[in-house]
Chain A
Amino acid sequence: MPTANQRTSVPVIVDEEKCIADKGCTVCIDVCPLDVLWINPETGKAHMKYDECWYCMPCEADCPTDAVTVDIPYLLR
């Protein structure tokens, strides 16, 4: 069965100016209960790779540079 890619708007937003993942920080990636935050290989910054969010907020609360914002997923808003 062939597959297709579907785009989706994701709830976790990372401010790339503030994010220090490229300096070795992985705090938001470590604390996510659903493991949906990964390093974007193109920028070296954290990003939401999978749209599987419980809007629980450890990523935002624990970020040392206040780079992460959790929005309510669009379907719930």
Chain B
Amino acid sequence: MNVNDIPVIDTDVLVIGGGTAGPMAAVTAKEQNPGLRVILLEKANVKRSGAISMGMDGLNNAIVPGHATPEQYVKEITIANDGIVHQPALMAYAQRSFPMIEKLDSWGVHFQKDETGDYDMKKVHHLGTYVLPMPEGHNVKKILYRRLRRNRVEIENRFQATRLLKDDQGRIAGMVGVNTRTAEPIIIRAKAVIMATGAAGRIGLPTSGYLFGTYENPANNGDGHAMAYHVGADLANLECFQINPLLKDYNGPACAYVTGPLGGFTSNAYGERFIECDYWSGQMMLEFFKELESGSGPVFLKLDHLAEETIQEIETVLHTNERPSRGRFHDGRHTDYRSRMVEMHISEIGFCSGHSASGVWVDETGATTVPGLYGAGDMASVAHSYMLGAFVYGQICGESAAAFAAEREVPTLDEAYIAAELERIRAPLAVTDGIPPAQMEYKVRRLVNDYLQPPKVTRKMEIGLERILAVREDLPRLCAADPHELLRALEVQSIIDCAEMAARASLFRTESRWGLYHYRVDYPEQNEQDWFCHSRLYKDEHGNMASGTRPVAPYIVELGEEKDAYQKLRVKKAANA
């Protein structure tokens, strides 16, 4: 079949995004049913793409028998996320967490073990023990790549998906995209689609002002969130922004996770500990923000009290795995952990379920609200997923999509919609002397910082939304001089969509929740009466961006006495201090 003279590629399962969740989803679909055709589409190259392109230094949420139970984990994350979670999805993760660690171990991923050969678990969370270091975690992507080859997953590198397709009954039907080096379009018809497109990490502007100096891999710009929105899928709790504590300017994680068990901690300017627990939660970030803005600020990572051998161990882990250019950054400023605390700051905002809870809504089977469309990893709504959650939900989605595809006829395609999308893709190439993508991107991301970065103020957010919509009006003048600029021009359109979503979702929830993530100055209290619910953001039948609510599913694990534990993260001062 051809549409506009472009040959249509047919597949059973299409996976969009080849970072962490995507390869696991593709391999799982093939393991489930080797007869299925499975295509993995990646905007960069699966060898080195996504959030863990250089590796990962630890599991932040490992539920290992003898150290924690799935019930304890579900309880802790429910509390850490102020009650708004889909517990069945957390439980599905928690129960598969340990089998996934064993699977990865058998594939050759190295986890730290103690002298008896048991996993060397560390306590970083407020209540339980869930952190498993991976000091040799730099080989994860290579191991995933070998599995893709072994299972004969077809890989399409350097293709950007731009829109998802539906059939006449509202089920998923495939996607349209474009080659990032040639600008040639691609049309894939698929019986089931798994999105694993990562966080929306390029919405806000880092304090350095460098567009690509984001916390997230900047390839994760929210294309998946925008595509899900346009195909009619629900997004959930987008106002629960991701904001992380980072090394200032470098904008990579300070990794209190890694240093905490070795004696490092987050401190104020006086070298004093001010938070009880370095696990990233909205409440922790609010205390971080208050300290940063106070007379005791700014905030630092304190290691200068540690023994030489401990510091060497920290340097080895932190300067060789997740963000190895970190050592080079410190060298440039003559920062030595032995003698100086390292200045920290907060990141730009983003949507990322890996660290917070915002994303495309999925249930415990990985299903979105569009039949046949699944979501895994940082872009899907399962709270606090991290890397292991991406693997587990990649696996869950691989199973769900393989089963869905096996039962289904070849879907019909909406040729008029495809033709319009091909037109939208090409448009910036035809504009000369217009607005280059970098300029438009800088503007919309600067507006996000000015108007949407918490503390959130209603009138400011309304003005921000108005200004973001004004940038949208400029889209007909967006220009691209070559295929690479076209990639950026299409990304800018996703960024504008995400910026509008961030503003509307934040305006919708008229309470404060999740600490700093949704701290509304004019609605300072958490309001359980009216807002103990998920928020929905979706495209309504008129094509407008709409908001609504979704009830929180009945808990399968009760919270008990510890339900307010994450509200008490500030270190208490002694009465006689």
Among A31, A49, A54, A57, the most chain B Cβ lie within 10 Å of the Cβ of A54
Binds A, one of B20-28, B320-328, B495-503: B320-328
Query: Closest CB-CB distance, B409 to chain A, in whole Å?
Result: 37
Contact A35 B325 (CB under 8 A): no
Give min CB distance, A58 to chain B, whole Å: 4
Q: How near does chain B come to A47, taking the closest CB pair, in angstroms?
A: 14
Contact of A72 with B332 in the complex, beta carbons under 8 Å:
yes
Collect the chain A residues with CB atoms within 8 Å of residue B213's CB. 54-55, 73, 75-76
Contact present for A76 and B251 (CB under 8 Å): yes
Interface mask (B194-219 → A, CB under 8 Å = 1, otherwise 0): 00000000000000111111100111
Q: Is the CB of A61 within 8 A of B212?
A: no
Shortest distance between the CB of B118 and any CB in chain A (Å):
31
Residues of A participating in the B interface, judged by any CB pair closer than 8 Å: 1-3, 30-35, 49-50, 52-58, 61-62, 70-73, 75-77
A70: which B residues are within 8 A, CB to CB? 325, 328
Say whether B467 faces chain A, with CB atoms less than 8 Å apart: no
Is A33 in contact with B219, judged by CB distance below 8 angstroms? yes
Chain A positions within 8 Å of B323 at CB level = 56
Q: Closest approach, in angstroms, between the C-beta of B72 and any C-beta of chain A?
A: 35
Report A21 CB to chain B, min CB distance, Å. 16
Which chain B residues have a beta carbon within 8 Å of chain A's beta carbons?
44-45, 47-50, 53-54, 158, 180-181, 208-214, 217-219, 249-251, 323-325, 328-329, 332-333, 433-436, 477, 484, 487-488
Interface on chain A toward B: helix, strand, loop, or mixed SS? loop
A-B contact count (CB 8 A): 90
B434 near A35: Cβ-Cβ < 8 Å: no
Q: Which residue of A32, A35, A76, A77 has the most chain B CB atoms within 10 A of its CB atom?
A: A76
Neighbour of A76 across the interface among B217, B329, B477, CB < 8 A: B329
Name the A residues within 8 Å of B328 (CB-CB).
70-72
| 8 cross-chain pairs, A with B, having the tightest CB-CB distances, nearest first | A58-B48, A31-B48, A75-B210, A33-B44, A55-B325, A52-B212, A76-B208, A76-B249
Asked whether A33 and B53 contact (CB < 8 A) given A55-B325, A62-B48, A75-B209, the answer is yes
Partner of A56, one of B249, B250, B325: B325
* Secondary structure of the B contact surface, majority rule: loop
Residue in B closest to A55 when the chains form the complex, CB atoms: B325
Known interface pairs A61-B324, A72-B328. Does A35 touch B218 (Cβ–Cβ under 8 Å)? no
Nearest-neighbour CB distance to chain A for B407, whole angstroms, equals: 36
Which residues of chain B have C-beta atoms less than 8 A from A33's C-beta? 44-45, 48-50, 53, 217, 219
Q: Cβ of B45 and Cβ of A31 under 8 Å apart?
A: yes
CA distance in complex: A18, B557 (Å): 60
A31 to B46, CA, bound (A): 8
CA A35 to CA B158, docked complex, whole Å: 9
Given A2-B433, A56-B217, also A35-B332 (CB < 8 A): no
A72 and B325 within 8 A (CB): yes
Chain A CB count within 10 A is highest, among B53, B158, B180, B209, for B53
Question: Which residues of the other chain, B, contact A30 by a CB distance below 8 angstroms?
Answer: 45, 47
Offer 14 A-B interface pairs, CB within 8 angstroms, sorted by A: A1-B433, A30-B47, A31-B47, A33-B53, A34-B219, A54-B212, A56-B217, A58-B53, A70-B325, A72-B328, A72-B329, A73-B208, A76-B208, A76-B250
Q: Are B212 and A56 in contact (CB under 8 A)?
A: no
Find chain B residues with CB under 8 A from A2 CB: 433
Q: How close is B359's CB to chain A, nearest CB, in angstroms? A: 21
CA distance A55 to B219 in the complex (A): 13
Tell me the bound Cα distance from A54 to B487 in angstroms.
17
Q: Which A residues are CB-close (under 8 A) to B217?
A: 33, 54, 56
Q: Taking the nearest CB of chain A, how far is it from the CB of B340, in angstroms?
A: 17
Complex Cα distance, B176 from A11, in Å, reads 34
Task: List chain A residues, Cβ under 8 A from B484.
Answer: 35, 49-50
Report yes or no: A57 in contact with B324, Cβ–Cβ below 8 A.
Answer: yes
* Distance (whole angstroms) from the CB of A59 to the closest CB of chain B: 9
- Tell me, in angstroms, the Cα distance from A34 to B53 when the chains sit together: 11
Structural contact, B54 and A61, CB atoms closer than 8 A: yes
B54 touches A35 (CB 8 A): no
CA–CA, A34 and B491, complex, Å:
12
Alpha-carbon distance A73/B181, docked complex (angstroms): 24
Bound form: Cα–Cα A50–B486 in Å: 13
- Whether the Cβ atoms of A35 and B487 lie closer than 8 Å is yes
Q: In the complex, which residues of chain B have a beta carbon less than 8 angstroms from the beta carbon of A54?
A: 212-214, 217-218
A3 touching B433 by the CB < 8 A rule? Answer: yes
Q: How far is the CB of B44 from chain A (nearest CB, A)?
A: 4
